[in-house]
Chains A and B, each alone.
Chain A
Amino acid sequence: MHELSLCSAIADTVREHTAGRRVERVTLQIGYLRQVVPDTLLFCWGFITDGTDLAGSELVVDHIPARISCRACGATTEIDRPILVCGSCDGTDVELISGDEFLVESIDVESVREPTQEIH
């Protein structure tokens, strides 16, 4: 639903870091607890980059599992929704370790290196 504005924000970040170099791939880290539909995001990326300097670049989403750590028993539980209950002891005194990520992780840009021998 808000994937279009997210793609605009991603494109701004990419341009800040690439200084006009051709972008091949943008990799995101998105935690399972974030409300983003990856397919919609990929569709919106094509739509928003079409006809721009980022046209043809690939968007890759690293979906990060959500994990909680229990302060009572020390167990780590992977969860698929934000019900923060320890899977081992049912305790609710837990800490979210991962799953909230919302990052541009890396950008692959085309590098052009000069030949080692000059042509005269």
Chain B
Amino acid sequence: MGRFHRHPDGTVHSHEHDHDHDHEHDHEHEHRDVGDHSGYTETGTDRVVVLEKILGENDRIADSNRADLSGHGITTVNLMSSPGAGKTTLLARTIPALEGRARIGILEGDIATSLDADALTGLGAAVSLVNTDAGFGGECHLDAIMVRAGLARLPLDELDLLIIENVGNLVCPAEFDVGQDARAMVYAITEGEEKPLKYPVMFRTAEVVVVNKMDLLPHLDFDMGLFRENLARINPDATVIELSARTGEGLEPWVEWLAGVAGIGDSGSVAGEPGQ
């Protein structure tokens, strides 16, 4: 992570910088004196130019997570959505569908309760629960530090694919890198066609948008063309996969997308041995 310095001539540059804050930087200082100057001790203001990323520490830990996961040969997907869009139901369908092709870990983020983690236990994936309510009344997202804690409870040597089920929220999870290789989101057609325009940052970050609850289409006034048009304005490159996690219809393109990012393609080959 680079540290940015601004020079007195106004030029700004960044350079690689180990995380060492014990020395003084060559900061630009502006002295803006206050009060009269006749006193024995003057007080004024020094301006320390910092230009440091607010989430720099999170980003550094996210990079460590990414490196550790990659070192174990694990591909990581950060799965995001609004509450109730169907992430957990989708994962309950996905885990058995990849059985024999990829050994899956689930890092389950929830503000409180183990309900979702319980729902996914026993399906053949290793599940690690991270409750985020240790913060002020429950964090609305997973950050890299929480994910790091959750990783310690997973058998990383025995996994090929890690899916991080983020806290249900269309705003905050988009801002926090947790160390994923790819971001995916689940969107339910019950949410309305305008959501990409209302939550553009989330929709912009996703490589794939799973359009869920397609089994409800006959009962809704949902305009798929309008939704796709709105999404294309925000994220023209997103892959769109329509499915119903409840019935399982349309699941295969999603499973193949995951297999693709995990590097096991559509060959159906059995996942590699530990240590590979």
Residues of chain A touching chain B, judged by Cβ–Cβ distance below 8 Å, are: 1-2, 4-6, 9-10, 12-13, 16-18, 21, 24-25, 28-29, 33-35, 81-83, 85, 92, 102-115, 117, 119
Contact = CB atoms under 8 A, between A and B. Distances in A.
A61 B217 CA distance: 44
Contacts of B236: 92
19 contacts: A1-B140, A2-B140, A2-B141, A2-B171, A17-B48, A29-B51, A35-B201, A81-B197, A83-B233, A83-B234, A85-B233, A106-B48, A106-B51, A107-B47, A108-B45, A110-B45, A110-B46, A115-B40, A115-B42
B225 interface: no
A82 B201 contact: yes
B199 to A, nearest CB: 9
Query: Among A17, A85, A110, A112, which residue has the most Cβ atoms of chain B within 10 A?
Result: A17
Given A2-B172, A2-B175, A35-B172, A13 B43 contact: no
Contact of A17 (B4, B41, B50, B56): B50
A112 B53 contact: no
Interface in B6-44: 21, 25, 31, 39-44
Nearest to B203: A82
Contacts of B242: none
Chain A interface, DSSP helix/strand/loop, else mixed: mixed
Chain B interface, DSSP helix/strand/loop, else mixed: mixed
Interface of B: 4, 21, 25, 31, 39-58, 135-136, 139-141, 143, 169, 171-172, 174-176, 197, 200-201, 204, 233-234, 236
Contacts of A113: 41-44
A83 B232 CA distance: 9
Contacts of B46: 21, 108-111
B11 to A, nearest CB: 15
Contacts of A18: 48
B33 to A, nearest CB: 9
Nearest to B173: A2
Contact of B41 (A33, A82, A115): A115
Given A105-B50, A111-B44, A13 B56 contact: yes
Contacts of B58: 9
